[in-house]
Structure 1
Amino acid sequence: MSISATQSLQGLTVATPTDREIRTERVFNASRERVWQAMTDPKLVAQWWGRGNKLVIEKLEVQRGGHWRFVEHAPSGLQGFEGRFREVTPPERLVQTFEWDGMPGHVIINTTVLHDLGDGRTKLVNTSLFHTPEERDGMLNSGMTTGLEQSYRALDALLMKS
């Protein structure tokens, strides 16, 4: 599947600006600092990143060169994800690698930018760069947009509590 035009799924906008990229955007009803904290504090990440499944944060070193590793306890079994931070600019920008244990060697570079909309809301823009167009299309076909929206709904719920 290739998304040639921008599509919106329950508040999540998904586009493919190039043949190797997926760009997602979502607005959250919280300040940029609160969204940043929810993305970088292991106790908070564990409450939303796994889409409702138990998530073990094995490592989350939010600094340039820092390692992160999460293990999701999904109905289908354990799913491990990890990477390294390439850039950390609080509270606005993270650049990190992303690799799933199920496909070692297929590394994605994720650039996440948090835009302060000036009214207590934050727009999260993520651009994922893949090694090949086939890897990008494989991710699109994997159901990633559904999983991402589930995670973002969990993040919304967490942000409403704090």
Structure 2
Amino acid sequence: MSPAAKPSPATVTQPSDREVRTERIFNATRERVWKAMTDPALVAQWWGRGNTLVIERLEVQRGGHWRFVEHTPDGQHGFEGRFREVTPPERMVRTFEWDGMPGHVIVESTMLEDLGDGRTKVITLSLFHTTEERDGMVQSGMTEGMNQSYVALDKVLAAPG
């Protein structure tokens, strides 16, 4: 992908009645993408889609706690969970919960696939407790927000370092 080329949005599918699967290719090595997803200073630059993001915790290890608070024009939004599995730089599994809907926990499995040409495919499978929770998240604009975050991540990955 040339620097001027516009990245494609993530591919989003629903492989079962409780899952959402996303796939996106990034123009960076797997190790660089892993670092951008696990280094608090880098996560703060892309996860909030341009909004201020405070990384309260990011303990990337089995049982580790993570908590991010996004500051948007309409207020603060907290997100948190626990890491269930961490296998650098290829896989992480964590829970995901939004403060606005306590008790509605998603299990996210993220795999980073080295494409062998300096690019990385990121695949995330989000497992919801019920079909209704999955459908509610999809209807809330999840895909649009994720694509905005991924465009911001492209910028972080393109920066020197």
TM-score range, shorter chain: over 0.9
Count of residue pairs the alignment pairs up: 154
Q: TM-score, normalised by structure 2?
A: 0.94
Offset, 1:75: 1.3
Contact 1:10–1:149 (8 Å) recurs in 2: no
Offset at residue 11 of structure 1 (A): 2.4
Runs of 4+ in 1 over 2 A off after TM superposition: none
Whole-Å separation in 2 of the counterparts to 1:26 and 1:15: 12
When the two chains are superposed, the root-mean-square deviation of aligned CA atoms in Å is 0.9
Percent of paired sites with the same residue = 73
State which of 1, 17, 23 in structure 2 corresponds to 1:19: 17
List per-residue Cα deviations over 1:53-81 (Å, max 9, x = no partner): 00000000000000000000011100000
The separation in 2 between residues aligned to 1:19 and 1:159, in whole angstroms, is 34
Q: CA deviation at 1:10?
A: 3.9
1:30, distance to aligned residue in structure 2 (A): 0.0
Q: What CA deviation, in whole Å up to 9, does each residue of 1:17-62 have, x standing for no partner?
A: 0000000000000000000000000000000000000000000000
Q: Distance in 1 between matches of 2:9 and 2:24?
A: 6
- Any idea what SS the aligned residue of 1:14 has? strand
How do 1:8-47 and structure 2 match up within 5 A?
Answer: 10-47=8-45
Name 1:149's counterpart in structure 2: 147
**1:60–1:68: 8 Å Cα contact kept in structure 2?**
yes
**Unaligned 5+ residue runs, structure 1?**
1-8
Paired residue for 1:92? 90
